[in-house]
Amino acid sequence: MLDLGFIRANPQLIREAAHQKGVVLDLERLLALDGERRGLLVQIEGMRAERNRRSQEIPGLKGGGRAQSIRDLRELGAELDSLEPALERVESELEGLLLQVPSPPHPDVPPGFDESANLLVRRWGELPAYDFAPADHLTLGERLGIIDVTRGVRLSGSRQYVLRGDGMLLERAVMNFALDRLLRKGFIPLSVPMLIRPEAMRGTGYFPGGEEQCYAIPRDDLFLIGTAEVPVTAYHAGEILDAADLPLRYAGFSGCFRREAGAAGRDTAGIYRVHQFYKVEQVVITRADPEASEREHELITANAEELLQALELPYRVVVVCAGEMGLGQVKKYDVETWMPSRNAYSETHSASMFYDFQARRLRLRYREAGGEVIHCHTLNNTAAASPRILIPLLEVHQEADGSVRIPVALRPYLDGRASIGP
């Protein structure tokens, strides 16, 4: 959510942001409601002041003057009673429109409406070359007995899987490796709820608009999270933090669930796009300073890159174009890891900068030393997400004999083993 004063002062910027992000927004209606609301507030506040003044005068009046003042006061109260519901209706409609206003993209963000417009920032690592016919991750997983899609589908339907034996241990190793790296950098670990109230979904910008991607528990008015970003960012909702404590850097761990609505026929083979997965998520809450946000954005992106380098996986970093960003994202990096079976770099990490978009929705603020209360800035990025990260781990590090080499950095998490064999 953006500051209403900012929207009022920059309508053309908001129109351009809506166009760039492909958002349908009735800005004229929003501005009209804003004017109506301000007019009603002035009228109501004036009438309330008049009511208070007359109420204080009545005890000193006598006779007909007192009776007339009481009648006038009742009429004033009746008029107020009619205006206050009108104000509530205007504020409710205005709130709904404010939730649809997109954040203007950062100047570094390229225009465009699909990934072909993304801007390459850098590449790292050499692409693997094989002197044998390489297998895809699903073939490798089945041969090694570590991925079982057939029984996963039998248990739970499409886009489900079972990691067994060394597959489950490899997933656990990557999650622990990612967490340990962030802990050494001073991030605070959080194990968070996976069932969340709708207020947290709205506060982080997933509602309205993302309902179709969420698994809902209507009986309890709860939703399964699609990322630990939601509960971690909402962890301090409604609080006023101390500026001296910022930035707060959290490493949230959770299971994640996505319906993948609209993804029919896309990435159906293997474990690239699934309904259930695990993530270690970086979340940063910092001061309302664009330069501070940009420093944190680079830091959390570097953390993801360092992890991939330690796992010896080639990757590239792109700035995501405006049309591929979410409503609240000001700037977004995608870190894409090389997946031989796809013959492409594919997204494994996304680093998003929001400025105060989420904090305004969450009423997440901090107090400066001088007493001023300001909305925070928030950011997030994946540290590791499984099973997707297992795809390049298996495919890039496969050997001619059908085994998979374990990167040196990961071996302490797998009892020192150098490979996973048939």
Catalytic residues: 258, 273, 347, 350, 388
Q: What are the start-end ranges of the E strands in 66-215?
A: 119-124, 147-148, 162-163, 188-191, 195-196
Whether the bond between 105 and the residue before it is cis, its omega within 30 degrees of 0, is no
> How would DSSP label each residue in 78-106?
HHHHHHHHHHHHHHHHHHHHHTTPPPPPP
Q: Per DSSP, what are the bridge partners of residue 384?
A: 280
In angstroms, rounded to a whole number, what is the distance separating the alpha carbons of residues 380 and 249?
Answer: 10
DSSP 8-state class, residue 325: S
DSSP 209-254: T-GGGS-EEGGGTEEE-SSTHHHHHGGGTT-EEEGGGPPEEEEEEE
* DSSP notation for 354-416: -TTHHHHHHT-EEE-TTS-EEE-EEEEEEEEEETTTHHHHHHHTB-TTS-EEPPGGGGGGGTT
- Using DSSP, state whether 330 is helix, strand or coil: coil
Write the DSSP assignment of 259-299 as a string of letters.
Answer: --TT-TTSS-STTSS-SEEEEEEEEEEE-S-HHHHHHHHHH
Return the amino acid letter for 133: A
Integer Cα distance of 358 and 27 in angstroms: 20
SS3 18: helix
CA distance 236 to 176: 25
